[in-house]
């Protein structure tokens, strides 16, 4: 039991038709729910921490909570930095014991992205830590409707091959139509699987990463809206599309919004049904249970039944 990298789990996932779930963590209940779900399903998983999570909870709390989860569960855990903005935050996380970091240079030019990614790869690899980078921009709801817009934002297969060769990065986040948050598509969900297949054909040994992979499960959206929420018109990536992406080289799928929705839906329900309740354990506990159930559902039905330790 210990902190591990993604090397072995991605090698297995690359050869199979499944992907590993990477779940964003922000507090104790979320960490406990994901780890218990993975333990119950005996599935590999990744816990990831964003800059926002670090700001909210303080890095030391998150690292110590994940250490506690590892000891308590007896499971190996990958601790990953999600969307590292620059070399300094990646270095800090490597030094703090993270086993995987993402350098997100997607807002920079191709050349600059290569330059900072290479710098992170050199440092991380010297400490035995793996690196995810990003090429292409995650399209928002209004973006990428036309072919021209897609070409401007989605990952170019040739550039992806050049980027991996020049940086030595361990995995690559690509843009094929997903976006962060609860409003991913205005009309019918659509992902550029042709582009994904081209990328994975050129990079057969590089695990690909799908950000913005939440399904925005309608049951939780409905529950939120029923109990006083206001999130109309939200739409995520259908589960079937995640399964398809996993067949074409996607080894890691990033999920945060579905965790947030599961937690919020349950808390909203309790607040409305029992307005006299004010013990946080009485709503955070059930919220934690709801997250665990949702993660187990994903592991069983979306991330692949063969996805076992
Ligand atoms: O990248 C997006 C993740 O959902 C993290 O979100 O930056 O609000 O923590 P956050
Ligand atoms: P979602 O907003 O779809 O959960 O995506 C999360 C993500 O990509 C974190 O990096
Ligand atoms: Zn992301």
150: helix, strand or coil:
helix
How far is it, in rounded angstroms, from Cα 250 to Cα 227?
36
Among residues 8, 76, 82, 85, which one is catalytic?
82
pLDDT at 307: 65
pLDDT at 257: 98
For residue 204, the enclosing domain spans 7-303
Residue 59 lies in a domain: yes
Task: Please compute the mean of the pLDDT values over residues 196-206 and round it to a whole number.
Answer: 98
**How far does residue 256's CA lie from ligand 1's centre (Å)?**
7
Q: Which two tokens stand for residue 24?
A: 């964003």
Residue 232 · residue 191 · CB < 8 Å? no
Active-site residue 82, yes or no? yes
Please name the residue whose Cα sits nearest to atom 9 of ligand 2. 254
Give the closest ligand to the alpha carbon of residue 82.
Answer: 2
Check if 254 has its Cβ closer than 6 Å to any atom of ligand 2. yes
Residue 309 lies in a domain: no
167: helix, strand or coil:
helix
How far is it, in rounded angstroms, from Cα 281 to Cα 264?
14
pLDDT at 144: 61
Q: Given a cut of 70, is residue 26 above it in pLDDT?
A: yes
What's the Cα-to-Cα distance from 16 to each of 11, 152, 167, rounded to whole Å? 9, 31, 25
Specify the length of the chain in residues.
309
pLDDT at 143: 65
How high does pLDDT run on average in the chain? 95
CATH number at residue 81: 3.20.20.70
Task: Please compute the mean of the pLDDT values over residues 240-267 and round it to a whole number.
Answer: 97
Q: Given a cut of 80, is residue 42 above it in pLDDT?
A: yes
User: Bigger pLDDT: 236 or 147?
Assistant: 236
Residue 30 lies in a domain: yes
Residue 24 · residue 17 · CB < 8 Å? no
Residue 87 lies in a domain: yes
pTM over the 0.85 mark: yes
Q: At 8, is the pLDDT very low, low, confident or very high (cuts 50, 70, 90)?
A: very high
Please name the residue whose Cα sits nearest to atom 5 of ligand 2. 212
Residues lining ion ligand 3 (Cβ < 5 A) are: 211, 254
142: helix, strand or coil:
coil
Residue 1 lies in a domain: no
Give the closest ligand to the alpha carbon of residue 257.
Answer: 2
Place of tokens 């076992």: 308
Give the closest ligand to the alpha carbon of residue 217.
Answer: 2
How far is it, in rounded angstroms, from Cα 237 to Cα 245?
11
237: helix, strand or coil:
coil
Q: Domain total for the chain?
A: 1
Residue 2 lies in a domain: no
Q: At 305, is the pLDDT very low, low, confident or very high (cuts 50, 70, 90)?
A: low
Cβ atoms within 10 A of the Cβ of 143, count? 17
Task: Please compute the mean of the pLDDT values over residues 108-130 and round it to a whole number.
Answer: 98
Q: At 30, is the pLDDT very low, low, confident or very high (cuts 50, 70, 90)?
A: very high
Identify the H or E element spanning 116.
Answer: helix 110-126
pLDDT at 133: 98
Residue 308 lies in a domain: no
Residue 146 lies in a domain: yes
Cβ atoms within 10 A of the Cβ of 220, count? 27
What is the longest distance spanned by two Cα atoms in the chain?
A: 60
Mutating to test ligand 1, I would choose from 25, 103, 256 the residue with most ligand atoms within 8 A of its C-beta, which is 256
Task: Please compute the mean of the pLDDT values over residues 172-178 and round it to a whole number.
Answer: 97
Please name the residue whose Cα sits nearest to atom 5 of ligand 1. 50
- For 127-170, write each residue's pLDDT tens digit: 999 999 999 998 776 666 677 778 889 999 999 999 999 999 99
Q: Which two tokens stand for residue 193?
A: 């699987």
């Amino acid at each position: 039991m210990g902190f591990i990298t993604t090397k072995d789990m991605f090698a297995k996932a690359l050869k199979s038709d499944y992907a590993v779930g990477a779940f964003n963590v922000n507090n104790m209940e979320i960490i406990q729910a994901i780890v218990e779900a993975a333990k119950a399903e005996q599935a590999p998983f990744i816990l990831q921490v964003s800059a926002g999570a670090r700001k909210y909870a303080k890095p030391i709390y998150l690292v110590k909570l994940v250490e506690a989860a590892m000891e308590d569960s007896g499971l190996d855990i990958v601790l990953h930095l999600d969307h590292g903005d620059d070399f300094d935050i990646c270095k800090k996380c490597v030094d703090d014991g993270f086993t995987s970091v993402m350098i997100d240079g997607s807002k920079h030019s191709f050349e600059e992205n290569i330059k900072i990614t290479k710098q992170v790869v050199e440092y991380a690899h010297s400490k035995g830590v793996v690196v995810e980078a990003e090429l292409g921009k995650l399209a928002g709801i209004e973006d990428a409707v036309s072919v021209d817009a897609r070409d401007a934002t989605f990952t170019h297969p040739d550039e992806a091959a050049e980027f991996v060769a020049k940086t030595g990065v361990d995995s690559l986040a690509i843009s094929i139509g997903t976006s962060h948050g609860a409003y991913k598509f205005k009309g019918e969900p659509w992902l550029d699987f042709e582009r994904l297949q081209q990328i994975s054909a050129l990079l057969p040994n590089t695990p690909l990463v799908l950000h913005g992979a939440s399904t925005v499960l309608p049951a939780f959206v409905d529950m939120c809206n029923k109990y006083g929420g206001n999130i109309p018109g939200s739409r995520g990536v259908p589960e079937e599309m995640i399964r398809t992406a996993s067949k074409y080289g996607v080894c890691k799928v990033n999920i945060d919004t579905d965790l947030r929705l599961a937690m919020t839906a349950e808390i909203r329900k309790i607040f409305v049904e029992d307005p006299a309740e004010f013990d946080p354990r009485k709503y955070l506990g059930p919220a934690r249970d709801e997250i665990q159930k949702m993660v187990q559902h994903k592991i069983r039905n979306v991330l692949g039944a063969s996805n076992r330790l």
